[in-house]
Structure 1
Amino acid sequence: MSTAPDQAFATLIADAQDFCRQLAANNTRDWYMAHKDTYQTRLKRPAEELLEVLRPRMAALTGGPCRTKLFRINRDLRFAKGKPPYKDHLHMLWYAPDGGAAPLGWFFGIETDRIRIGAGYMGLEGAALTAWRAVVDSAAGEEIATAIEERLARGDTTWEPALKRVPAPYDKDHPRGDLLRRKSMVLFHDMPLPDGDLADAIEAEFRQLWPVFAPIQRGMAGI
């Protein structure tokens, strides 16, 4: 019999933070291999269950299919030379709605000293980037910009724009030039330690972010 979700998640944050703190202090293959069973049973399996519990909920919220991802704990050192071999955090994503020009990502991360929530488009390229810029320039652009600014004013953070200048063919003084210079649009904030069911708490955080991204998603889907 599988563990009930609320029981499986009850200690996930505490277990993950404890494991990640120890890993940060002992980031070697020998230490990880000696504690791999702990990672598998106390972090990975509950995280996979959490992803699956929220998958249909995110599909229902966004009106499209949902795909999940648990980030691997080991780094690919071919692309991270000089860094420790393991990541001292537990990160996961729900892509919902999945498909289209760019899937919308929903992020939950447990780190050594905080819990992070986020949502957005992690990377915009090709048709997705063209669609994003068209939406920003459209009649819905002002509403979208206002919603993003309100979240930032409340303490959310985002990545810096990728471009120094507003791209052609848009005017260099475009009122939403900051958004046009982006090749991603993500919002993150620290999540308080939940006092109830973890899946419910994460879903509540995502529901607060959905009004920001819903008009973007509708606009991009229509282009």
Structure 2
Amino acid sequence: MSDDGFTKMLDRAQRFYAALAQNNSRDWFEPRKAAWKRDIEAPAKLFADLVAEDLARLTRTPHRPKVFRINRDIRFSKDKSPYKTMLAMLWAPVDPGPSFYFGIEPAATFAGLGWPGFDKDGLARFRALIDRHGDDLTEAMGASGGSLSEIGPDPLKRVPKPYAPEHPHGDLLRRKSFALGGPLPEGWRETGDGLVAALTDRFEALLPVREVLIRDS
């Protein structure tokens, strides 16, 4: 199979966001906005649509693709940098369950599964699932090759009630978010299959984790 062309989009994005990180201002971005929309945002949206088709096939559930906007919400932030320095995409299921995520930073990628944070009811359901299926979840997490990201709110310092302080899955119970994943595997470029195939393969490795996470939904 020949490369799908989106590898060039990833390379352009990494170069662009590396430069943006050094020049995070409207004066720098505006003259380059049209090129960013043409060479990065537009192909990223097409890429997200194609990956959504693969996820629907893998999960038997439609997923809504989203490419995050480049502008930061700085209204309540001490950091007034106007632009994000990474390209981020998300695929949210139409049925209850975790979303898939792909982030392209200047020197790294992250392909993952989970929730960046929970509302009150969602957090209660997540903790109940950990209590019932924690063994199965940790086994699936280990087999996936992924690791937990620190995205989202800081975890609690103690295991929340009514769960025992010495609960075997206390580390998971203390979390207020769940994002499991990691970079695209080394050597994915050498296969020649392209970025869609590489990301889909990475997401496929996370499917057993997803199956546990939706077990009681």
Short-chain TM bin: 0.7 to 0.9
Q: Secondary structure at the match of 1:212?
A: helix
In structure 2, relative to structure 1, the CA distance for the partners of 1:60 and 1:50 (3 Å cut) is same
- The alpha carbon displacement at 1:63 in A equals 2.5
Q: Is the 1:98–1:104 contact (alpha carbons within 8 Å) kept by the matching residues of 2?
A: no
Q: Which amino acid aligns with 1:159?
A: E
Q: Is the 1:115–1:193 contact (alpha carbons within 8 Å) kept by the matching residues of 2?
A: no
Map residues 24-63 of structure 1 onto 2, 5 A cutoff.
24-63=21-60
Q: Is the 1:105–1:122 contact (alpha carbons within 8 Å) kept by the matching residues of 2?
A: no
Q: Which amino acid aligns with 1:163?
A: L
Map residues 88-127 of structure 1 onto 2, 5 A cutoff.
88-95=85-92, 97-100=93-96, 103-127=97-121
- Partner of 2:140 in structure 1? 147
Q: Secondary structure at the match of 1:106?
A: strand
Q: Which amino acid aligns with 1:184?
A: S
Q: Which amino acid aligns with 2:61?
A: G
- Partner of 2:150 in structure 1? 159
Q: Is the 1:122–1:186 contact (alpha carbons within 8 Å) kept by the matching residues of 2?
A: yes
Which of 199, 216, 222 aligns to 2:213? It is 216
Q: Report Cα offsets for 1:118-163 as digits up to 9, x if no partner.
A: 111221222221211111111x321112223455xx5624228621
Flag the structure with more relative contact order, 1 or 2, with Cα contacts below 8 A and sequence separation at least 6. Answer: 2
- Partner of 1:169 in structure 2? 162
- The alpha carbon displacement at 1:15 in A equals 0.7
TM-score by length of 1: 0.85
Which of 184, 192, 200 aligns to 2:177? It is 184
Runs of 4+ more than 3 Å apart: none
Q: Secondary structure at the match of 2:103?
A: strand
Which of 71, 74, 90 aligns to 2:71? It is 74
Q: Secondary structure at the match of 1:88?
A: coil
**Alpha-carbon distance in structure 1 between the residues aligned to 2:180 and 2:146:** 10
RMSD in angstroms over aligned alpha carbons?
2.0
Structure 1's unaligned 5+ residue stretches are none
Aligned residues: 209
Q: Secondary structure at the match of 2:30?
A: helix
**Alpha-carbon distance in structure 1 between the residues aligned to 2:140 and 2:7:** 33
Q: Secondary structure at the match of 1:82?
A: coil
**Alpha-carbon distance in structure 2 between the residues aligned to 1:77 and 1:184:** 22
